[in-house]
Amino acid sequence: DASDIEKGTYPHYMLKEIDEQPLVMRKIIQAYQNDAGELSIDEGVLNAVNAADRIYIVACGTSYHAGLVGKEFLEKTAKIPTEVHVASEFVYNTPLLSDKPLFIFISQSGETADSRAVLVRVKELGHPTLTLTNVAGSTLSREASHTLLLHAGPEIAVASTKAYTAQIAVLSILAEVAGKAKGFEMSFDLIQELGIVATAMEALTDDKEAFEQIARDFLSVTRNAFFIGRSMDYHVVQEAALKLKEISYIQAEGFAGGELKHGTIALIEDGTPVFAVTTQENVNLSIRGNVKEVAARGAHTCTISMKGMEEEGDSYVIPYVHELLSPLVSVVPTQLIAYYAALHRDCDVDKPRNLAKSVTVE
Ligand code: G6P
C-alpha cells in the first residue's frame, strides 16, 4: 500500500525517521534563515517572546522532554525565566502565573487533548500562546496566537524521534533570535553549530552496527534498565528511558545521577544494565563516579560520552558538538539502542501495544 512506498527500503518508519534527522536539521536551518543568511523568527512570535516576563512550556511525552531542553536555551540564551509543565498536571494544578506569561505548547501532532485543555484554559485568561508543531493547520496551531513549524516531515512511527530533535533545534533558534533582539552577545554561531550537529548525527546513523551490538549486549534478556545523566544529559536520559519503554517494554527509568544514592541504587543487582550519558564537562567526573558506584554493585554499565571527555572503557564516544546542543546528538544512540532492543525482542517497533501516535482524549 501507499504507506509501504513511503517507507522505502526501510523495515520500519522509526529507523527511517531516525535517519532523517540530519536532513531535518538542515531543513530547519534553511527554514529559519532570512535572505541575509541570518537566523530569523516571525516578528509576531519574537515580540510575544520578548514581551514575556516568564515562559510556561506545556507538553506531553517526548515533547515534554524536548521542553526540558528548551528551557535551558530560553534561560541561558534569551535570559527569560522558563517553566516546563506536563499538560495533564498543569490543567488541574495551575501554578501561580507571572504578570506577563507566554505559553509555549510543544506538540508534534498538534492534536494532543491534554495540551489543548491547557490552551483553552489560558486563552480564556487572555494570555498569549505559541504552538510549536510539526503539523500546519493542526488544532493547537489554529487555536494558538502564534505557530512555529518543526519542518520534520510526517512522523509515522508512534515513538517520536525526529520530532524531538526538531523541537530542540527550533527552540534553540527561538532562544538565540530572541536573545539577539534583546542585545545579548552570543557566544557561538548557531547556524554553524547546528550544521556540526547534522554532521555528527550522520556519523551516528552511519554507525548502526555499534548500537545494534550494544542493544544485544545489554538489553537482550533484561527486565529493566536505568539511564543516568546530569544537567543537560539528565534531560536526554529521561527521553532515552521513555523510548526504550515505549517500544521494547523493558522497564526503564531515566534519572539524575545525583539521585542514585537517594533510592534507585537499591535496585541495582548483578547484571542490571545502567546507561550513562556524559557530554557536559562540569559534571563529567560526578557522573563517572556514579558509574563506578553502580558497577561496584554489579551493574552492567554502558557509558556514552562525548569526544574530549571520553575515558578508556566507554562503550561509545559521540562526535564533539557544542555542549548546549549536545542533546540533539546524544539522543541518537539511545534511539538506535531502543530500536534494536525492540527488534531483538520481536516487538512491533512502529506500533507498540497500548500506545497511540496522538492522544486526542484527556
Ligand atoms: C503520545 C505519543 C508520544 C508523544 C505524546 C505527545 O503519547 O505516543 O510519542 O510524545 O503523545 O504527542 P504530541 O503530538 O503532542 O507531541
Residue with CA at minimum distance from ligand 1 atom 8: 357
Query: CA geometry: angle at 51 spanning 47 and 52, to 5°?
Result: 125
Q: Facing residues of 341 across strands? A: none
Q: Is the CB of 161 under 6 A from ligand 1?
A: no
Q: Does the structure show a pLDDT above 80 at 5?
A: no
Q: Is the CB of 115 under 6 A from ligand 1?
A: yes
| Cell matching residue 276 | 550513562
Within 10 Å of residue 99's Cβ, how many Cβ atoms? 7
Which atom of ligand 1 is closest in space to residue 109's alpha carbon?
A: 14
CA 41 to chain centre: 21
**pLDDT value for 93:** 86
Residue with CA at minimum distance from ligand 1 atom 2: 357
**Residue 132 in contact with residue 106, Cβ under 8 Å?**
yes
Please report which confidence band the pLDDT of residue 185 belongs to, taking 50, 70 and 90 as the band edges.
confident
Residue of 105, 133, 147, 357 best suited for mutating to test ligand 1, as the one with most atoms within 8 Å of CB: 357
Instruction: Give yes or no: 357 in active site.
Output: yes
What does the alpha-carbon distance between residue 73 and residue 177 come to, in Å, rounded to a whole number? 11
Phi and psi at residue 299, in whole multiples of 5°? -60, 150
Mean pLDDT along residues 168-187 = 94
Place of cell 554561531: 189
Residue with CA at minimum distance from ligand 1 atom 4: 61
3-class secondary-structure state, position 298 = coil
Residue with CA at minimum distance from ligand 1 atom 11: 358
Please report which confidence band the pLDDT of residue 8 belongs to, taking 50, 70 and 90 as the band edges.
confident
Residue with CA at minimum distance from ligand 1 atom 5: 61
> Burial, 358: exposed, middle or buried (Cβ in 10 Å; 0-12, 13-18, 19+)?
middle
**Region class of 155: left (phi > 0), else alpha (psi between -120 and 50), else beta:** beta
| Cell matching residue 116 | 489543548
Which atom of ligand 1 is closest in space to residue 356's alpha carbon?
A: 8
The end-to-end CA distance of the chain, in Å, is 32
| Mean pLDDT for the chain overall | 96
Q: Is the CB of 133 under 6 A from ligand 1?
A: no
Q: Is the CB of 107 under 6 A from ligand 1?
A: yes
Q: Does the structure show a pLDDT above 90 at 187?
A: no
Residue of 60, 141, 243, 331 best suited for mutating to test ligand 1, as the one with most atoms within 8 Å of CB: 60
Q: Is the CB of 60 under 6 A from ligand 1?
A: yes
Question: Is the entire prediction scored with pTM above 0.95?
Answer: yes
What does the alpha-carbon distance between residue 270 and residue 260 come to, in Å, rounded to a whole number? 16
Please write the tens of the pLDDT for every residue from 302-336: 999 999 999 999 999 999 999 999 999 999 999 99
What does the alpha-carbon distance between residue 91 and residue 112 come to, in Å, rounded to a whole number? 13
What does the alpha-carbon distance between residue 122 and residue 213 come to, in Å, rounded to a whole number? 47
What does the alpha-carbon distance between residue 339 and residue 342 come to, in Å, rounded to a whole number? 5
Q: Is the CB of 304 under 6 A from ligand 1?
A: no
> Burial, 126: exposed, middle or buried (Cβ in 10 Å; 0-12, 13-18, 19+)?
exposed
Centroid of ligand 1 to alpha carbon of 22 (angstroms) = 22
Segments in the chain forming alpha helices (H): 2-7, 13-19, 21-31, 43-51, 61-76, 87-92, 113-124, 139-143, 162-181, 190-205, 208-219, 232-248, 281-296, 326-344
Please write the tens of the pLDDT for every residue from 25-46: 999 999 999 999 999 999 999 9
Q: Which residues contact 286 (CB under 8 A, 6 or more apart)?
A: 230, 257, 258
**pLDDT value for 1:** 47
**Residue 150 in contact with residue 132, Cβ under 8 Å?**
yes
Q: Is the CB of 158 under 6 A from ligand 1?
A: yes
Please write the tens of the pLDDT for every residue from 207-244: 999 999 999 999 999 999 999 999 999 999 999 999 99
